[in-house]
Amino acid sequence: MSNHLRADGRHRGGESEPSALAYSIPTAAARIGISRSGLYELIRAGEIPIIKIGARSLVGDHDLRAFLERRRVATVHAGDRP
């Protein structure tokens, strides 16, 4: 099977490109829709851990997803309020 990608990011055989395990700070911030400085604030506050590899700081995909899950708020309908 060929390892070449199609224009849509999928392999020519049809399967999707595997997702990254970790992202650079700018990419991680973009993935969750916040600024780089906002992500650095969350890192300093201990909300999101980083992975250090040499001088590089990375954010794990699992850690981003866990952060978002912790921030999930249940939907309240107008008629449901006490």
10 domain-assigned: no
Give the pLDDT score at 3: 47
Give the pLDDT score at 76: 72
- Number of domains present in the structure of the chain: 1
Give the pLDDT score at 8: 47
Give the pLDDT score at 6: 47
58 domain-assigned: yes
Give the pLDDT score at 64: 97
Give the pLDDT score at 15: 54
Below-50 pLDDT ranges, the chain: 1-9
Model pTM?
0.68
3-state secondary structure 5-31: ECCCCEECCCCECCCCCEEEHHHHHHH
16 domain-assigned: no
50 domain-assigned: yes
8 domain-assigned: no
For residue 37, give its domain range. Answer: 22-71
